[in-house]
Amino acid sequence: MKLAIIGATGLVGRVVLKVLAERKFEFDKLLLAASATSVGTPIEFLGKTYLVKAVEEVIAARPDIAIFSAGGATSKHYAPLFEAVGTVVIDNSSAWRMDPTKKLIVPEVNGSIVTKADKIIANPNCSTIQMVVALNNLHKKYTINRIVVSTYQAVTGTGAKGVRQLQDERNGIQDGPKAYAYPIDLNCIPHGGDFELNGYTTEEIKLVNETRKIMGDSELLVTATVVRVPVYGGHSESINVSFKKPIQIEDVRSILASSAGVVLLDDPQQKKYPMPLDAEDKDAVFVGRVRIDETQANTINMWVVSDNLRKGAATNAVQIAELVGALINEKK
């Protein structure tokens, strides 16, 4: 098993390595690649030192699996080149998510549809992942009619530049690099991605389209508002979801508590509810504040929190790699 990480020096790439170690992902050879400016950079992993290689050199090595965390343009250019040498690409960017010929995978939700024929597999947006993990079993039982979601997204979702801006502002540095058009410290910015003509941002549209694709329902009603908040790690979501079938709140809680990848943290009388601090460096999707919406039939409100660098990116990609690895071993 030859495993490649493309974008190994970035925020997500570093977390991918951490998750690979924690989950004891088995490989015989590890190849790390990044941009030309990072070639030769040493990275310590499991007691060994690896030097970052050029992407072209890694393609020539014909890895079995390549996990991409290097941006959409890089993926669009290089993923087909890896595919041509027989590599299975698992891509963290938005490049392939809505391509009708590519699968968009969250293992707890639709991992069973991955096959040996899949050569480029898309990893969803971090906000989409945690929402569908929380809602999947409820959808199976009650059938979702409509989702209204507002996100409270950490600066790590914007990458190292977002983290740097928040750190600079907290340290009184005014002339550092800017990821956002406005200050992020002591502020909330209702802007993620680029604004489209309909007034929604590209990040909001991703939540709509990706949820429909993963859930297998092109008519599912989803509307979203994305907000960036001054938190380093962990995205939070306020979700209002309506179902086609009658619900019982205790059944809802029971389903959530038994759902793969979900931790129900819902005891408001004891001030127990999910927060980004709870999710930090964990793989679970935390759900709390589960309650009936008293203004709409068969509708609940819930609060969902997850580490956007882990389950929202790195862990989900590694879980897909585990599925692919099992198929490769089965084939051999």
Catalytic residue among 77, 126, 188, 191: 126
List all residues 6 or more positions away from 149 whose beta carbon is below 8 Å from its beta carbon.
127, 131, 207, 222, 223, 224, 225, 237, 238, 239, 240
Distance from C-alpha of 327 to C-alpha of 282, rounded to nearest angstrom: 27
Closest CA to 88 of 109, 71, 105: 105
As a whole number of angstroms, the distance between CA 114 and CA 110 comes to 8
The pair phi, psi for residue 226, each rounded to 5°, is -105, 130
Could you tell me if 154 and 234 are in contact, meaning their C-beta atoms sit under 8 angstroms apart?
A: yes
**Is 126 an active-site residue?**
yes
Q: 2 near 61, Cβ under 8 Å?
A: yes
Amino acid residing at 309? L
Q: Which of 139, 188, 191, 235 is catalytic?
A: 235
CB 215 within 8 A of CB 132: yes
User: Measured between alpha carbons, how far is 120 from 20 in angstroms, rounded to an integer?
Assistant: 20
Bridge partners for 50 per DSSP: 43
188 noted as active-site residue: no
The pair phi, psi for residue 316, each rounded to 5°, is -60, -40
Q: What is the b/e burial string over 228-245, where b = at least 16 CB atoms within 10 angstroms of the residue's CB?
A: bbbbebbbbbbbbbbbee
Residue 94: how many CB atoms within 10 A of its CB?
19
Active site positions, annotated: 126, 235
